[in-house]
Chains A and B, each alone.
Chain A
Amino acid sequence: MVTKLPKVDVVTIGVGWSAGIIAAELTKQGKKVVGLERGKERKTEDYFMAHDELRYAVRHEMMQDLSKETITFRNNDKMRSLPMRSYGSFLLGVGVGGSGAHWNGQNFRFLPYDFELRSKTIEKYGLDKIPADMTIQDWGITYDEIEPYYDQYEKMAGISGEDNPLGGRRSNPFPTPAMKKTEAMRLFDEATKKMGYHPYVQPSANLSENYTNPDGISRVACQYCGFCERFGCEYGAKAEPGVTVLPVAKATGNFEVRPHSEVRRILYSNGKATGVLYTDLTTGEEFEQSADVVVLSGYVFTNVRLLLLSGIGRPYDPTTGTGVIGKNYAYQIRKGRATGFFDDHKFNNFAGAGGLGMIIDDFNGDNFDHTDLDFIHGGMIILGQTGQRPIANNQVPSGTKSWGKDFKDASLKYTNASLTVSGEGASMAYKQHFLDLDPTYNDAFGDPLVRITFDFEEQDRQLTKYLAEKCEGILKEMGANHVDVSGDLGPYNVAEYQSTHNTGGVIMGADPETSAVNNYSQMWDVENLFVVGASSFPQNAGYNPTGTVGALSYRAAEGILKYMEKGGSLI
């Protein structure tokens, strides 16, 4: 028995950054928005006991319950896909605020090159520079076109930062000044300047000073407590939907969040989405919520999975390269890094903030010449100080046994005397990397899990080695007595934590044949369905994704309002 609920203007699937931004913008204009979130409600006071590494960081308090739904994985189509039974390579957010509630707050704009990656690469290096199986695409939007939305997002979130000497043009300065510089950051700053690079303090959503945003929301400055990633912020200093856009949407009286509501299908007829079917997880009751516009805002996996389960859009076929849903799944190349061990210099590694660090972009994008290199793009190089907690951080020099007396001694000695400099490599799209539905494994409702087919390629190996060498050079210049370099990229391993920057699957572009959504995140095939999230990245950049997801969400909100006024395709 499905209970039909009265129609609303807009229904969102998930209530994280994307849905929160869209809800705030639409409800301000008087639109009625319902947000369906399968997890629970959360508020700042809930994080009273948040400085608990075991509960939040190790046992994944704020993450999706994998016993109900996980993903399956294989490196290639010759391998049997198997479920990710426990967390490893990345974490799946759940609950009101989504992953935005427990992110680090590392906030970036992509480079102008990123948005026109394919054409700029061909223009400078020729078509031969792009391997035959590499399926990178332009975004169908330029940096200059997306810049105003970055600006809007940064003002809402109160992003703290200073100009990136090698980044894109800014129409306005950062709304708040850069975060404080730690001793380790000062060393990195000095060393990289000496080496002729262009360091800058990492842009951050942690808030360097008290701030009131254009919506009238006031938040207090970060205390550098060192519990950001995987934790909720008990001060509300870290920008997250629950302390920024969601209160704005709620204050209009036009927004309703329904927690514990898991959307099972997008309903679709005659070329339009009519609403969604969802289950109230507390009672098991099923509801149909109809709406004029459906916003699918489940980041990446939920977006792809719900489209495939609902039979919407053309599924990607890796053998022919046709179809678009599930195409161009990409990730982040995080193993080009080095760790320096210092014999007579100690740091406050325990203190920090999620978005606290120094960066150089000298080896990101096309900021350096690739003519004689066997890869394209690059990655930022970062010395971050997110706060090293003791269970996760036990760095020992190579050759040290991983347990016993020597391990204990070295791990204690270097806890506050080792620093890691790492590359955050861009991840290119390939014909053979994609998402589809698993033929064997199901979720708690009996619906197929989403399946990842992904591996690292030669491009990634070359990039990793290159970035690792740069990281090593910086640490030596910083005065490390011993540097361990991790430059060998093995196969992609889903059991090993690397990054939660999964991207692609419902990609954005200028051509309906090769992309799923236009640059308003509107589906080419279904004009009243907007699919918002990192799912729309045609490939991934050498930065964290949230700033760009935020900008795309503001653009999508504008598109939805336009669509509701005039109907039809926006482009």
Chain B
Amino acid sequence: MTEQKKNTPVLDKRSSRRTFIKNSGLTVGGVVLGGALGSLLLKDGKTTTNETNVHSSTAPSNPNVALMYFTPEQYRITEAASERIFPKDENGPGAKELLVAYYIDHQLSGAWGMGSKEYTSGPFFPGEDTQGYQGRQNRQQIFEIGLKGIQDHSLKTYDKSFIELSEDEQDAILTEFADGNVELKGVSSAHFFGVLRTATIEGAYADPLYGGNANMEGWKMKNFPGHQMSFLDIIEKEFTKIEPMALNSQHKH
């Protein structure tokens, strides 16, 4: 299997976007977006070099790496923010390499994004903390509001796009959101951050069939064996390391 090279398509994607933006001569209305996209080009230049060293360019492309819901800018902010929530470290890859932002994008496009199995009838009243979420917004709308909030707050505080900020600056912005200190219209910043945090962890550890947990790297770090038929032979033993398997192995069985 060569599926461990799954990250390469991210690179392809970036390259093609860069090319697209350059070739199309896309002019972006407004200083805010222009600044964001301009710096994005610069930043990509750097990371591309790093990632080229890590990944072979001969791997097949992963067709799962494409957007179902996010705009490119929403994707970028989500990728950067989720990486701060679940960063790359000595344990292994972070959200970015695990393709968590693609996982979130794909989830947002479906039932979870639209709250299809949730009670969304009115009337709406602000509830007590013990009564759970009572807002009008579904998760698609919560992300739209929240991601724009992150970008606006970054520009206001640092005069830079969120993805251009240093890690410490990004953490400072996200902490403000987590603590509920940022005023958003329609949803609290703490609620948005909570959804983003939960979705990031899901993207790191859900079966790879959902687009995240690339190459089962999330499970490998966590020593979670994924889909196994039986633990009868180890259930009475001390910790035993087992190579993970995804549901794909069962489906192709």
Residues of chain A from 264 to 306 with CB closer than 8 A to chain B in the complex: none
Closest Cβ of chain A: how far from B15's Cβ, in Å? 29
- Within residues 130 to 184 of chain A, which ones have a CB less than 8 A from any CB in chain B? 180-183
Interface pair B238/A67, CB less than 8 Å apart:
no
B238 to chain A: closest residue by CB: A183
Known interface pairs A53-B207, A80-B125; A495-B131 also in contact (CB < 8 Å): yes
Known: A51-B226, A391-B205, A415-B222. A83 touches B235 (CB 8 A): no
Are B132 and A412 in contact, with the CB atoms below 8 A? no
B120–A67 touching, CB < 8 Å: yes
What is the count of residue pairs linking A and B with beta-carbon distances less than 8 angstroms?
171
- Point out the residue from A75, A346, A391, A411 that lies within 8 Å of B238, measured CB to CB: A346
B115, CB-defined interface residue at 8 Å? yes
Are B222's CB and A54's CB within 8 A?
A: no
Give, as a whole number of angstroms, the nearest-CB distance from B173 to chain A.
13
The reply to whether the CB of B1 lies closer than 8 angstroms to some CB of chain A is: no
The chain A residue with its CB closest to the CB of B221 is A412
Chain A residues positioned under 8 Å from B221 (CB to CB): 412
Interface pair A49/B112, CB less than 8 Å apart: no
Quick check: which of B35-43, B44-52, B67-75, B84-92 contacts chain A, the rest being far away?
A: B84-92
CB neighbours of A415 from chain B (8 A) = 222-224
Per the bound structure, the CA–CA distance linking A404 and B171 in Å amounts to 8
A190 within 8 A of B: no
Given A183-B236, A415-B222, A494-B131, A83:B119 Cβ within 8 A: yes
Please tell me if B225 contacts chain A, counting CB pairs below 8 Å: yes
Q: Which of B87, B111, B121, B251 has the most CB of A within 10 A?
A: B121
Q: CA of A348 to CA of B157 in the docked complex: distance in angstroms?
A: 46
Whole-angstrom distance between the alpha carbons of A571 and B231 in the complex? 50
Query: In whole Å, how far is A15's beta carbon from the nearest beta carbon of chain B?
Result: 21
Choose among B129, B206, B237 the residue with the greatest number of A CB atoms under 10 Å from its CB: B206
Stretch from A37-45, A223-231, A518-526 that touches the partner: A223-231
Q: Is the interface of B mostly helix, strand, loop or mixed?
A: loop
Q: Which of A23-79 contact B (CB under 8 A)?
A: 48-49, 51-54, 58-60, 65-67, 70, 73-75, 79
Please give, as numbers and ranges, the residues of chain B lying within 8 Å of A65 by CB-CB distance: 117
Residues of A within 8 A of B125 (CB): 80, 82
| Contact indicator B121/A408 (Cβ below 8 Å) | no
The answer on a CB contact under 8 Å between A224 and B238 is: no
For residue A398, CB closer than 8 A to chain B, the reply is no
Interface presence of B24 (CB below 8 A): no
Interface window among A84-92, A472-480, A506-514, A533-541: A84-92
Does A394 lie at the interface of the complex (its beta carbon under 8 Å from any beta carbon of B)? yes
In the assembled complex, 27 residue pairs joining A and B whose CB atoms fall closer than 8 Å, in A order, are A49-B251, A52-B247, A53-B206, A54-B207, A67-B117, A67-B118, A73-B130, A84-B131, A85-B118, A86-B132, A88-B132, A180-B236, A223-B231, A223-B232, A224-B231, A225-B228, A350-B224, A350-B231, A351-B231, A389-B224, A390-B218, A403-B178, A404-B85, A404-B171, A408-B94, A412-B221, A416-B223
Residues on A close to B: CB < 8 A?
48-49, 51-54, 58-60, 65-67, 70, 73-75, 79-80, 82-86, 88, 180-183, 223-226, 345-348, 350-352, 389-391, 394, 402-405, 408-409, 411-412, 415-416, 440-442, 491-495
